[in-house]
């Protein structure tokens, strides 16, 4: 017997409402905030790497950072993990 089976329909309904509110108030904003941290626009990526935008464009043209296109658009984003990998490789080359 599942735990929820012992609850009345009214209590189940209240539980669903409270969980929905909790998810929308707490969980969703945290997921969105994390997502915003994990993906950068080109200028944000340049700032994260502490290089000028022009330097970032050169790095990109050299294929050292690739990024990805948002589906169905020409908008490019860069994963934080890719930028971190580039920084680590740059340090190793020194």
Nearest to 82 by CA among 48, 34, 32, 43: 48
Q: What is the pLDDT of residue 57?
A: 96
Q: Which residue has the higher pLDDT, 31 or 33?
A: 31
- In angstroms, rounded to a whole number, what is the distance separating the alpha carbons of residues 79 and 60? 13
**Angle, CA 37 vertex, CA 63 and CA 20 arms, to 5°:** 135
**90 and 49 part of one domain:** yes
Task: Mark whether 52 and 31 lie in a shared domain.
Answer: no
Q: Same domain, yes or no, for 35 and 72?
A: no
Which structural domain range is residue 34 located in?
Answer: 8-39
| One domain for residues 33 and 47 | no
pTM value?
A: 0.60
In this structure, the answer to whether residues 33 and 55 fall within a common structural domain is no
pLDDT of residue 35: 61
Question: Same domain for 78 and 50?
Answer: yes
């Amino acid at each position: 017997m599942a735990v929820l089976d012992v609850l009345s329909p009214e209590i189940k309904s209240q539980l669903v409402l409270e969980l929905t509110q909790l998810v929308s108030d707490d969980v969703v904003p945290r997921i969105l905030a994390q997502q915003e941290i994990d993906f950068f626009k080109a200028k944000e990526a340049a700032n994260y790497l502490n290089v000028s935008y022009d330097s970032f464009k050169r790095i990109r043209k050299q294929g050292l950072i690739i990024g990805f296109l948002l589906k169905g658009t020409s908008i490019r984003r860069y994963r934080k993990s890719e930028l971190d990998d580039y920084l680590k490789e740059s340090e190793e080359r020194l």
